[in-house]
A = this chain, B = another copy of it.
Amino acid sequence: MSSTYGKILKIATFGESHGVGIGVVLEGCPAGIDFDEAFIQSELDRRKPGQSRITTQRKEADEFEVMSGIFEGKTTGTPIALIIRNQDQRSKDYSHIATQYRPSHADYTYQAKYGTRDYRGGGRSSARETAARVAAGAVAKMILKKVGVQVQAYVSQVGKMKLEKDYQQLQLENAEANAVRWPEPETAQGVFDYIDQVRKEGDSIGGVVSCIITGSPVGLGEPVFDKLHAELGKAMLSINAVKGFEYGSGFAGVEMRGSEHNDAFFTDENGKVHTRTNHSGGVQGGISNGEDIYFRVAFKPVATIMQNQESLNEAGETVTVQGKGRHDPCVVPRAVPIVEAMAALVMADFYLRHQASRV
């Protein structure tokens, strides 16, 4: 199983939902970066379970230990290993599905591919793995901070409830003020109540996370296959439950004319090149053009629901999968820091790669 990502700034994650723990090794981080452990913890806290009654009630402090790569408070350029031990495992909760294939989970495909699987909480296929990504992404954010790049995500849709405003019309920092991570204060409670209602019905619902990257220098991205948006897309699609990705005008751009879609260039008072519109989403020809990079990520409703479902066991017999355990009725509030983490890793990797493109 391939679990590495990145080319220069590269991560290798490991760990199962109900094993000893999870972690990540991050290589290629430049030396001399101020290593902010409290920031990593705060990022993990944004992702961790039990934040409100609309997230899973599993209790994980998600405290991490730094195994390597830091000396006297700074990165040394050597691999940074971070580990997080699992605490609230309750593996016995899963004995009833040891030989069952939960619908729309990875039970069947893992069993078919590997001939075995760790059935406890989904094992490696659990979204618990993403805590390791968030920890690594926090380090990527430290690198980006040094070069003036910011990554900020928020929930822009839950079920049929959509944020009508563009990101420019919102105060994105408001997203962190509520459990949904919804940046519009006046509608946030309604969305929360909707998710809570879905939860009470033992069901789940999908959503969309939007992400904005500001301050990117011109020139990041590597045509032709490693286009900036292609790599961002892969990074997002590698997150559990993601079904779609679009950037700039996205699927809506399909309905536009070229004369309407093209972004006219102009220079600002400082002679800096800009575009009057930004349907390109900050990327042209796979390379950042200095405008805001923005994209949207579609998440399906979580497969774990509190309802009985028809399925199969390993013997191919029809069984009823019982709805019990702990789960998120809607994954997007906790997905926000994961989206940011993956975006930060992609951006920091391309920043470093870009440095290798000139002599």
Task: Report how far A104 CA is from B105 CA in the complex, Å.
Answer: 41
- B116, A265: Cβ atoms under 8 Å? no
- B316, A280: Cβ atoms under 8 Å? no
Task: Report how far A8 CA is from B224 CA in the complex, Å.
Answer: 14
- B264, A103: Cβ atoms under 8 Å? yes
Q: Which of B198, B218, B298 meets A113, CB within 8 Å?
A: B218
- B237, A233: Cβ atoms under 8 Å? yes
- A219, B31: Cβ atoms under 8 Å? no
How many chain A residues sit at the interface, stated as a range, is: 35 or more
Name which of A13-21, A36-44, A169-177 contacts chain B: A13-21
CB distance from A19 to the nearest CB of B (A): 5
- A4, B1: Cβ atoms under 8 Å? no
Task: Report how far A104 CA is from B284 CA in the complex, Å.
Answer: 6
The 9 A-B pairs of least Cβ separation, nearest first, read A106-B285, A244-B246, A204-B258, A234-B234, A109-B287, A230-B237, A206-B254, A258-B301, A31-B114
Q: A residues engaging B (CB < 8 A)?
A: 1-5, 7-8, 10, 12-16, 19-23, 25, 27-28, 30-33, 65-69, 71, 74, 76-81, 83, 101, 103-106, 108-110, 112-118, 123-125, 129, 143, 146-147, 157, 159-160, 198, 203-208, 218-219, 221-227, 229-231, 233-235, 237-238, 243-251, 253-267, 271, 273, 275, 279-281, 284-289, 298-305, 307, 309-312, 316, 318, 351-359
